[in-house]
Amino acid sequence: MKIVCKILLILKCILVVHTHIIGSASSEVIGGRNPKWFPFYSIGRFAQDTCVGTNKLIGTCTLALQCSDIGGTTTGATACSQANTRQASCCIVTKTCGSSADYNNTYFVNSGYPQTFPGGSRCDIRVTRLGSDVCQLRIDFLEFTLAQPTGDGLCSSDYFGVSGGSSPVPRICGENSGQHVYVDFSGDHPITITVATSSSVSFNRRWHFHLQQIGCDSPSKAPSGCLQYWMDKSGYVSSFNYASAASGSTNSIGVQGSRQIASLSYGACVKAAPGTCSITWSRPTGDAFAFTVTGDVGAIDPAILGTAAVQEQMCTTDYVTIPSAQQNGVDALGGDRFCGLGIDDTTSISRPYVIYTKTNANEMTDIGNRGWYLTYTQNMCPV
Ligand SMILES: *[C@@H]1O[C@H](CO)[C@@H](O)[C@H](O)[C@H]1NC(C)=O
Protein backbone atom coordinates (compact mmCIF):
# COMPACT_ATOMS: atom_id res chain seq x y z
CA MET A 1 0.00 0.00 0.00
CA LYS A 2 2.79 2.35 0.94
CA ILE A 3 4.51 1.68 -2.36
CA VAL A 4 1.34 2.31 -4.29
CA CYS A 5 0.89 5.64 -2.53
CA LYS A 6 4.41 6.59 -3.32
CA ILE A 7 3.91 5.78 -6.99
CA LEU A 8 0.73 7.81 -7.08
CA LEU A 9 2.51 10.74 -5.51
CA ILE A 10 5.30 10.56 -8.07
CA LEU A 11 2.81 10.42 -10.88
CA LYS A 12 0.95 13.36 -9.48
CA CYS A 13 4.21 15.30 -9.46
CA ILE A 14 4.86 14.33 -13.05
CA LEU A 15 1.41 15.51 -14.00
CA VAL A 16 1.80 18.83 -12.21
CA VAL A 17 5.21 19.45 -13.74
CA HIS A 18 3.94 18.34 -17.13
CA THR A 19 0.88 20.58 -17.01
CA HIS A 20 3.13 23.40 -16.01
CA ILE A 21 5.44 22.78 -18.98
CA ILE A 22 2.83 22.39 -21.69
CA GLY A 23 0.46 25.03 -20.42
CA SER A 24 -3.30 25.16 -20.48
CA ALA A 25 -3.87 24.68 -24.20
CA SER A 26 -2.75 21.08 -24.30
CA SER A 27 -3.66 20.21 -20.73
CA GLU A 28 -7.10 19.54 -22.13
CA VAL A 29 -5.59 16.74 -24.12
CA ILE A 30 -3.82 15.10 -21.25
CA GLY A 31 -5.74 16.54 -18.33
CA GLY A 32 -9.26 16.16 -19.62
CA ARG A 33 -12.28 16.34 -17.42
CA ASN A 34 -12.32 15.34 -13.84
CA PRO A 35 -8.66 14.42 -13.52
CA LYS A 36 -7.97 12.55 -10.33
CA TRP A 37 -4.46 11.36 -9.69
CA PHE A 38 -3.87 11.03 -13.34
CA PRO A 39 -6.41 11.45 -16.03
CA PHE A 40 -7.37 7.96 -17.18
CA TYR A 41 -10.86 9.25 -17.32
CA SER A 42 -10.42 11.59 -20.22
CA ILE A 43 -9.44 8.91 -22.71
CA GLY A 44 -12.25 7.96 -25.00
CA ARG A 45 -13.89 11.35 -24.65
CA PHE A 46 -14.05 13.97 -27.30
CA ALA A 47 -11.08 15.91 -26.04
CA GLN A 48 -8.75 13.03 -26.81
CA ASP A 49 -5.89 13.66 -29.14
CA THR A 50 -5.47 11.09 -31.87
CA CYS A 51 -2.10 10.15 -33.26
CA VAL A 52 -0.72 7.91 -35.96
CA GLY A 53 1.54 5.20 -34.65
CA THR A 54 3.81 2.83 -36.49
CA ASN A 55 2.13 0.75 -39.23
CA LYS A 56 -0.16 3.76 -39.77
CA LEU A 57 -2.46 2.60 -36.99
CA ILE A 58 -4.45 5.30 -35.23
CA GLY A 59 -4.05 5.72 -31.51
CA THR A 60 -4.61 8.08 -28.65
CA CYS A 61 -1.95 10.19 -26.98
CA THR A 62 -1.56 8.96 -23.44
CA LEU A 63 1.03 8.44 -20.80
CA ALA A 64 2.65 5.01 -21.06
CA LEU A 65 1.03 3.90 -17.81
CA GLN A 66 -2.42 4.98 -18.96
CA CYS A 67 -1.89 3.03 -22.13
CA SER A 68 -1.21 -0.25 -20.41
CA ASP A 69 -4.13 0.43 -18.09
CA ILE A 70 -6.52 0.50 -21.05
CA GLY A 71 -4.93 -2.56 -22.64
CA GLY A 72 -3.01 -0.74 -25.34
CA THR A 73 0.56 -0.69 -26.49
CA THR A 74 2.58 2.43 -27.11
CA THR A 75 4.40 3.03 -30.35
CA GLY A 76 6.04 5.75 -32.31
CA ALA A 77 8.31 8.42 -30.88
CA THR A 78 7.26 10.82 -33.62
CA ALA A 79 3.59 10.70 -32.78
CA CYS A 80 1.71 13.01 -30.42
CA SER A 81 3.35 16.14 -31.74
CA GLN A 82 0.40 18.20 -30.57
CA ALA A 83 0.82 17.18 -27.00
CA ASN A 84 4.54 17.48 -27.58
CA THR A 85 5.62 16.18 -24.25
CA ARG A 86 8.18 13.64 -23.32
CA GLN A 87 5.61 11.59 -21.44
CA ALA A 88 2.88 11.24 -24.03
CA SER A 89 3.16 8.54 -26.63
CA CYS A 90 0.84 7.02 -29.15
CA CYS A 91 -1.31 4.32 -27.57
CA ILE A 92 -2.80 1.73 -29.92
CA VAL A 93 -5.64 -0.27 -28.40
CA THR A 94 -6.13 -3.75 -29.86
CA LYS A 95 -8.77 -6.15 -28.57
CA THR A 96 -9.85 -9.65 -29.38
CA CYS A 97 -12.74 -12.02 -28.62
CA GLY A 98 -14.98 -11.41 -25.63
CA SER A 99 -13.86 -7.86 -24.97
CA SER A 100 -15.41 -4.46 -25.27
CA ALA A 101 -14.27 -1.41 -27.18
CA ASP A 102 -14.59 1.56 -24.87
CA TYR A 103 -12.21 3.85 -26.76
CA ASN A 104 -12.32 5.43 -30.17
CA ASN A 105 -9.96 3.80 -32.67
CA THR A 106 -9.95 0.36 -31.11
CA TYR A 107 -8.65 -2.44 -33.31
CA PHE A 108 -10.39 -5.82 -33.27
CA VAL A 109 -8.35 -8.87 -34.26
CA ASN A 110 -8.67 -12.64 -34.31
CA SER A 111 -7.21 -14.45 -31.34
CA GLY A 112 -3.54 -15.15 -31.93
CA TYR A 113 -3.26 -12.28 -34.45
CA PRO A 114 -1.02 -11.72 -36.46
CA GLN A 115 -1.09 -15.49 -36.68
CA THR A 116 -4.06 -16.97 -38.47
CA PHE A 117 -6.94 -18.55 -36.61
CA PRO A 118 -7.99 -22.10 -37.50
CA GLY A 119 -11.70 -21.53 -36.80
CA GLY A 120 -14.19 -23.10 -34.47
CA SER A 121 -15.77 -20.39 -32.39
CA ARG A 122 -17.86 -17.33 -32.24
CA CYS A 123 -15.92 -14.17 -31.44
CA ASP A 124 -17.66 -11.01 -30.27
CA ILE A 125 -16.67 -7.49 -29.36
CA ARG A 126 -19.06 -5.00 -27.81
CA VAL A 127 -18.66 -1.39 -28.82
CA THR A 128 -19.76 1.24 -26.31
CA ARG A 129 -20.99 4.55 -27.70
CA LEU A 130 -18.65 7.28 -26.48
CA GLY A 131 -21.23 9.99 -26.11
CA SER A 132 -24.51 11.41 -27.35
CA ASP A 133 -22.67 13.30 -30.10
CA VAL A 134 -21.66 10.00 -31.72
CA CYS A 135 -24.02 8.74 -34.45
CA GLN A 136 -22.22 5.94 -36.29
CA LEU A 137 -19.62 3.26 -36.03
CA ARG A 138 -17.32 2.78 -39.01
CA ILE A 139 -15.69 -0.64 -39.24
CA ASP A 140 -12.74 -0.75 -41.62
CA PHE A 141 -11.58 -4.18 -42.70
CA LEU A 142 -7.81 -3.70 -42.77
CA GLU A 143 -7.70 -7.47 -43.09
CA PHE A 144 -10.75 -9.67 -43.56
CA THR A 145 -10.06 -13.23 -44.60
CA LEU A 146 -12.80 -15.70 -43.71
CA ALA A 147 -13.85 -18.91 -45.43
CA GLN A 148 -15.47 -18.46 -48.83
CA PRO A 149 -19.23 -18.69 -49.27
CA THR A 150 -20.62 -21.94 -50.66
CA GLY A 151 -20.98 -22.19 -54.43
CA ASP A 152 -24.53 -20.90 -53.82
CA GLY A 153 -23.21 -17.71 -52.23
CA LEU A 154 -24.16 -18.62 -48.66
CA CYS A 155 -21.95 -17.64 -45.73
CA SER A 156 -22.66 -20.91 -44.02
CA SER A 157 -19.35 -21.79 -42.43
CA ASP A 158 -18.03 -18.33 -41.52
CA TYR A 159 -19.66 -14.95 -41.27
CA PHE A 160 -19.16 -11.42 -40.06
CA GLY A 161 -22.29 -9.88 -38.53
CA VAL A 162 -23.34 -6.84 -36.55
CA SER A 163 -26.16 -6.45 -34.05
CA GLY A 164 -27.45 -3.73 -31.75
CA GLY A 165 -27.29 -0.89 -34.28
CA SER A 166 -30.27 0.72 -35.99
CA SER A 167 -29.17 0.22 -39.61
CA PRO A 168 -28.96 -3.20 -41.27
CA VAL A 169 -25.60 -4.84 -41.96
CA PRO A 170 -25.62 -7.98 -44.08
CA ARG A 171 -23.76 -11.11 -43.07
CA ILE A 172 -20.69 -11.41 -45.24
CA CYS A 173 -17.77 -13.80 -45.57
CA GLY A 174 -14.83 -14.58 -47.83
CA GLU A 175 -12.19 -11.99 -48.71
CA ASN A 176 -13.09 -8.39 -47.87
CA SER A 177 -9.82 -6.66 -46.99
CA GLY A 178 -10.08 -2.96 -47.88
CA GLN A 179 -13.87 -2.88 -47.54
CA HIS A 180 -15.74 -1.20 -44.68
CA VAL A 181 -19.24 -0.83 -43.27
CA TYR A 182 -21.09 1.86 -41.34
CA VAL A 183 -23.60 1.13 -38.59
CA ASP A 184 -25.91 3.67 -36.96
CA PHE A 185 -25.95 3.58 -33.19
CA SER A 186 -29.38 2.96 -31.72
CA GLY A 187 -29.32 5.44 -28.86
CA ASP A 188 -26.87 4.29 -26.22
CA HIS A 189 -27.18 0.60 -27.08
CA PRO A 190 -23.82 -1.02 -27.60
CA ILE A 191 -23.11 -2.48 -31.03
CA THR A 192 -21.87 -6.06 -31.09
CA ILE A 193 -19.60 -7.27 -33.88
CA THR A 194 -19.50 -11.02 -34.35
CA VAL A 195 -17.11 -13.15 -36.34
CA ALA A 196 -18.29 -16.75 -36.40
CA THR A 197 -15.99 -19.43 -37.81
CA SER A 198 -16.72 -23.09 -38.20
CA SER A 199 -14.21 -25.80 -37.31
CA SER A 200 -15.71 -28.06 -39.97
CA VAL A 201 -14.07 -26.02 -42.73
CA SER A 202 -10.30 -26.11 -42.60
CA PHE A 203 -9.13 -22.62 -43.48
CA ASN A 204 -6.73 -20.04 -42.06
CA ARG A 205 -8.81 -17.05 -40.96
CA ARG A 206 -7.41 -13.66 -40.13
CA TRP A 207 -9.01 -10.34 -39.34
CA HIS A 208 -7.91 -6.89 -38.23
CA PHE A 209 -10.67 -4.30 -38.05
CA HIS A 210 -10.44 -0.60 -37.19
CA LEU A 211 -13.41 0.68 -35.18
CA GLN A 212 -14.04 4.40 -35.42
CA GLN A 213 -16.84 6.30 -33.77
CA ILE A 214 -18.23 8.97 -36.07
CA GLY A 215 -19.60 12.18 -34.60
CA CYS A 216 -23.08 13.34 -35.71
CA ASP A 217 -21.61 16.42 -37.38
CA SER A 218 -18.49 14.70 -38.72
CA PRO A 219 -17.71 15.14 -42.43
CA SER A 220 -17.17 11.39 -42.57
CA LYS A 221 -20.69 10.58 -41.37
CA ALA A 222 -22.39 8.46 -44.03
CA PRO A 223 -25.74 9.68 -45.41
CA SER A 224 -28.61 7.51 -44.29
CA GLY A 225 -29.06 4.41 -46.45
CA CYS A 226 -25.34 4.06 -47.12
CA LEU A 227 -23.70 0.93 -45.77
CA GLN A 228 -20.47 2.19 -47.28
CA TYR A 229 -19.20 5.72 -47.78
CA TRP A 230 -16.21 6.16 -50.06
CA MET A 231 -14.61 9.55 -49.71
CA ASP A 232 -12.02 9.81 -52.47
CA LYS A 233 -12.84 11.92 -55.50
CA SER A 234 -12.20 8.92 -57.71
CA GLY A 235 -11.45 5.31 -56.99
CA TYR A 236 -13.01 1.92 -57.21
CA VAL A 237 -15.72 0.06 -55.38
CA SER A 238 -16.52 -3.63 -55.50
CA SER A 239 -19.18 -5.93 -54.18
CA PHE A 240 -18.30 -7.97 -51.09
CA ASN A 241 -15.95 -10.89 -51.73
CA TYR A 242 -15.21 -9.68 -55.26
CA ALA A 243 -12.02 -11.08 -56.82
CA SER A 244 -11.34 -12.03 -60.39
CA ALA A 245 -10.49 -15.59 -59.30
CA ALA A 246 -13.33 -18.09 -59.61
CA SER A 247 -15.09 -19.72 -56.70
CA GLY A 248 -13.41 -22.97 -55.74
CA SER A 249 -16.75 -24.66 -55.11
CA THR A 250 -19.56 -26.08 -57.14
CA ASN A 251 -23.10 -25.01 -56.40
CA SER A 252 -26.08 -27.12 -55.42
CA ILE A 253 -26.76 -28.18 -58.99
CA GLY A 254 -23.18 -29.36 -59.37
CA VAL A 255 -21.82 -26.64 -61.66
CA GLN A 256 -19.21 -23.89 -61.14
CA GLY A 257 -20.15 -21.85 -58.07
CA SER A 258 -20.43 -18.07 -57.65
CA ARG A 259 -18.30 -15.80 -55.43
CA GLN A 260 -21.19 -13.38 -55.24
CA ILE A 261 -22.79 -13.39 -51.78
CA ALA A 262 -26.51 -14.17 -51.73
CA SER A 263 -29.25 -12.08 -50.09
CA LEU A 264 -27.58 -8.68 -50.11
CA SER A 265 -29.34 -5.35 -50.34
CA TYR A 266 -27.25 -2.29 -49.59
CA GLY A 267 -25.97 1.02 -50.89
CA ALA A 268 -22.33 1.95 -51.45
CA CYS A 269 -22.20 5.75 -51.49
CA VAL A 270 -19.52 8.13 -52.67
CA LYS A 271 -18.96 11.50 -51.05
CA ALA A 272 -19.59 14.26 -53.57
CA ALA A 273 -16.45 16.30 -54.10
CA PRO A 274 -16.99 20.08 -54.21
CA GLY A 275 -17.86 21.38 -57.67
CA THR A 276 -18.91 18.01 -59.04
CA CYS A 277 -22.35 17.32 -60.48
CA SER A 278 -22.29 13.68 -61.54
CA ILE A 279 -20.51 10.39 -61.13
CA THR A 280 -19.51 7.87 -63.80
CA TRP A 281 -19.15 4.16 -63.09
CA SER A 282 -16.98 2.13 -65.48
CA ARG A 283 -15.66 -1.36 -65.74
CA PRO A 284 -11.88 -1.29 -65.31
CA THR A 285 -10.02 -2.44 -68.39
CA GLY A 286 -8.10 -5.64 -67.98
CA ASP A 287 -10.57 -7.48 -65.77
CA ALA A 288 -13.11 -9.35 -67.89
CA PHE A 289 -14.92 -10.62 -64.77
CA ALA A 290 -15.48 -7.18 -63.25
CA PHE A 291 -19.19 -7.23 -63.97
CA THR A 292 -20.46 -10.79 -63.71
CA VAL A 293 -23.70 -10.45 -61.81
CA THR A 294 -26.24 -12.79 -63.45
CA GLY A 295 -25.95 -15.60 -65.98
CA ASP A 296 -23.33 -18.17 -66.89
CA VAL A 297 -19.81 -16.80 -67.31
CA GLY A 298 -18.68 -19.95 -69.13
CA ALA A 299 -21.37 -19.61 -71.77
CA ILE A 300 -20.15 -16.21 -73.02
CA ASP A 301 -17.50 -15.58 -75.64
CA PRO A 302 -14.53 -14.33 -73.57
CA ALA A 303 -14.01 -11.54 -76.12
CA ILE A 304 -17.25 -9.82 -75.13
CA LEU A 305 -17.41 -10.80 -71.44
CA GLY A 306 -17.78 -7.65 -69.34
CA THR A 307 -18.75 -5.39 -72.24
CA ALA A 308 -21.95 -3.51 -72.99
CA ALA A 309 -22.84 -6.25 -75.47
CA VAL A 310 -23.78 -8.56 -72.57
CA GLN A 311 -25.30 -5.95 -70.27
CA GLU A 312 -28.90 -6.69 -69.35
CA GLN A 313 -31.48 -4.27 -68.06
CA MET A 314 -34.52 -6.37 -67.32
CA CYS A 315 -33.17 -7.37 -63.94
CA THR A 316 -35.17 -9.13 -61.24
CA THR A 317 -32.82 -11.49 -59.39
CA ASP A 318 -29.37 -10.01 -58.84
CA TYR A 319 -28.57 -6.52 -60.05
CA VAL A 320 -27.02 -3.16 -59.27
CA THR A 321 -29.09 0.00 -59.25
CA ILE A 322 -27.63 3.33 -60.32
CA PRO A 323 -30.33 5.99 -59.90
CA SER A 324 -31.22 8.17 -62.91
CA ALA A 325 -28.70 6.31 -65.01
CA GLN A 326 -27.46 7.62 -68.32
CA GLN A 327 -25.35 5.72 -70.83
CA ASN A 328 -23.82 7.33 -73.91
CA GLY A 329 -25.54 10.60 -73.07
CA VAL A 330 -29.10 9.30 -72.94
CA ASP A 331 -31.28 7.68 -70.29
CA ALA A 332 -30.30 4.04 -69.95
CA LEU A 333 -32.67 1.62 -71.67
CA GLY A 334 -34.82 -0.18 -69.15
CA GLY A 335 -34.20 2.26 -66.31
CA ASP A 336 -31.64 2.14 -63.56
CA ARG A 337 -31.10 -1.59 -62.95
CA PHE A 338 -28.15 -3.41 -64.48
CA CYS A 339 -27.30 -7.08 -64.51
CA GLY A 340 -25.94 -9.72 -66.86
CA LEU A 341 -22.26 -10.17 -67.60
CA GLY A 342 -21.15 -6.71 -68.66
CA ILE A 343 -21.87 -3.01 -68.26
CA ASP A 344 -21.40 0.17 -70.27
CA ASP A 345 -20.12 3.39 -68.65
CA THR A 346 -22.98 4.73 -66.55
CA THR A 347 -23.40 8.29 -65.29
CA SER A 348 -25.75 9.53 -62.56
CA ILE A 349 -26.59 12.95 -61.17
CA SER A 350 -28.54 11.61 -58.16
CA ARG A 351 -27.35 12.48 -54.64
CA PRO A 352 -25.93 10.95 -52.66
CA TYR A 353 -23.82 9.31 -55.35
CA VAL A 354 -24.68 5.66 -54.83
CA ILE A 355 -24.65 2.21 -56.34
CA TYR A 356 -27.04 -0.31 -54.78
CA THR A 357 -26.41 -4.05 -54.78
CA LYS A 358 -29.27 -6.50 -54.66
CA THR A 359 -28.80 -10.27 -54.73
CA ASN A 360 -31.54 -12.77 -54.05
CA ALA A 361 -31.21 -16.00 -52.09
CA ASN A 362 -30.66 -18.15 -55.18
CA GLU A 363 -27.33 -17.99 -57.03
CA MET A 364 -27.89 -21.30 -58.80
CA THR A 365 -28.11 -19.87 -62.31
CA ASP A 366 -25.30 -17.38 -61.67
CA ILE A 367 -22.59 -19.72 -62.79
CA GLY A 368 -18.98 -18.73 -62.22
CA ASN A 369 -19.95 -15.16 -61.26
CA ARG A 370 -17.70 -12.87 -59.22
CA GLY A 371 -19.99 -9.90 -58.52
CA TRP A 372 -18.83 -6.46 -59.59
CA TYR A 373 -15.80 -4.20 -59.39
CA LEU A 374 -16.13 -0.73 -60.90
CA THR A 375 -14.13 2.45 -61.00
CA TYR A 376 -15.81 5.77 -60.37
CA THR A 377 -14.94 9.28 -61.39
CA GLN A 378 -16.74 12.45 -60.38
CA ASN A 379 -17.43 14.99 -63.08
CA MET A 380 -17.17 18.74 -62.61
CA CYS A 381 -20.34 20.78 -63.02
CA PRO A 382 -20.72 22.32 -66.47
CA VAL A 383 -19.61 25.96 -66.55
C1 LIG B 1 -12.54 8.99 -33.58
O2 LIG B 1 -11.30 9.06 -34.22
C3 LIG B 1 -11.33 9.52 -35.55
C4 LIG B 1 -9.92 9.48 -36.10
O5 LIG B 1 -9.58 8.18 -36.37
C6 LIG B 1 -11.92 10.91 -35.62
O7 LIG B 1 -12.02 11.31 -36.97
C8 LIG B 1 -13.27 10.90 -34.97
O9 LIG B 1 -13.78 12.22 -34.95
C10 LIG B 1 -13.17 10.37 -33.55
N11 LIG B 1 -14.50 10.28 -33.00
C12 LIG B 1 -14.88 10.95 -31.94
C13 LIG B 1 -16.27 10.73 -31.52
O14 LIG B 1 -14.14 11.68 -31.34
pLDDT at residue 112 in the model: 95
Q: What is the 3-state secondary structure (H, E, C) of the chain?
A: CHHHHHHHHHHHHHHHHHHHHHHHHHHHHHHCCCCCCCCHHHCCCCCCCEEECHHHCEEEEEEHHHHHHCCEEEECCCCCCCCCCCCEEEEEEEECCCEEECCCCEEEECCCCCCCECCCEEEEEEECCCCCCEEEEEEEEEEEECCCCCCCCCCCCCEEEEECECCCCCCECCECCCCEEEEEECCCCCEEEEEEECCCCCCCEEEEEEEEEEECCCCCCCCCCCCEEECCCEEEEECCCCCCCCCCCECCCCCECCCCCCCCEEEEEECCCCCEEEEEEECCCCCCCCEECCCEHHHCCCCCCECHHHEECCCCCCEEECCCEEECCEECCCCCEEEECECCCEEECCCCEEEEEECCCCCCCCECCCEEEEEEEEEECCC
Cα(91) to centroid(ligand 1), Å = 15
Domain covering 96-221 in this structure, CATH number: 2.60.120.290
For the Cβ of 58 lying below 6 angstroms from any atom of ligand 1, the answer is: yes
The Å distance, Cα 357 to ligand 1 centre, comes to: 29
Distance 104 CA to ligand 1 centre (A): 6
Please state the rounded mean pLDDT for residues 131-137: 97
Distances (CA, A) of 4 to 1, 9, 84, 325: 5, 9, 28, 68
Q: Which residue has the higher pLDDT, 118 or 38?
A: 118
d(CA 164, CA 153): 25
Q: What percent of the chain has pLDDT over 90?
A: 74
Query: Is the pLDDT higher at 252 or at 46?
Result: 252
Given ligand 1 and candidates 51, 137, 213, which is best to mutate, with the most ligand atoms within 8 Å of its CB?
A: 213
Whether residue 20 contacts residue 2, with contact meaning beta carbons closer than 8 Å, is answered with: no
Q: Report the range of poorest mean pLDDT among 20-29, 107-116, 296-305, 347-356.
A: 20-29
Phi, psi of 27 (to 5 degrees): -70, -20
CA of 350: how far to CAs of 231, 275, 280, 314, 373, in Å? 16, 14, 11, 21, 20
Q: Which of 212, 221, 229 to mutate to test the pocket of ligand 1 (most atoms within 8 A of CB)?
A: 212
Band (34; pLDDT cuts 50, 70, 90): very low
Range with the poorest average pLDDT among 70-84, 93-107, 244-258: 70-84
> Does 223-383 match 96-221 at the fold level?
yes
pLDDT reported for residue 85? 57
pLDDT, residue 33, reads 33
Q: What is the mean pLDDT of residues 283-288?
A: 93
Q: What residue owns the CA closest to ligand 1's atom 8? A: 214
Distance 131 CA to ligand 1 centre (A): 12
Distance 238 CA to ligand 1 centre (A): 26
Indicate if the pLDDT at residue 186 is higher than 70.
Answer: yes
CA end-to-end span of the chain: 74
pLDDT at 76 over 80: no
Q: Which atom of ligand 1 is nearest to the CA of 46?
A: 14
Rounded distance from Cα 49 to ligand 1 centre (Å):
9
pLDDT: is 344 or 83 the higher one? Answer: 344
pLDDT at 252: 92
Between 163 and 63, the more confident residue is 163
**Ligand 1 centroid to 80 CA: how many Å?**
15
Of the pLDDT bands very low, low, confident and very high (cuts 50, 70, 90), residue 88 is confident
pLDDT tier for residue 3 given thresholds of 50, 70 and 90: very low
What's the mean pLDDT in 21-33? 32
The average confidence (pLDDT) of the chain is 87
* Overall average pLDDT of the 314-334 stretch: 95
213 CA: nearest ligand 1 atom? 11
The per-residue pLDDT for 68 is 87
What's the CA gap between 154 and 172, in Å, rounded?
9
d(CA 96, CA 54): 20
CATH architecture, range 223-383: Sandwich (2.60)
The domain segmentation of the chain, as residue ranges, is 13-93, 96-221, 223-383
pLDDT score recorded for residue 78: 56
Q: Would you state the pLDDT for residue 193?
A: 98
Residue 44 has pLDDT above 50, yes or no: no
To test ligand 1's pocket by mutation, which of 42, 46, 82, 104 has the most ligand atoms within 8 angstroms of CB? Answer: 104
Between the CA of residue 240 and those of 141, 176, 202, what are the distances in Å?
11, 6, 22
Mean pLDDT of 54-83: 77
CB count within 10 Å of CB 277 equals 12
Burial 86-108 (b: 16+ CB within 10 A, else e): ebbbbbbbbbbbebebbbbbbbb
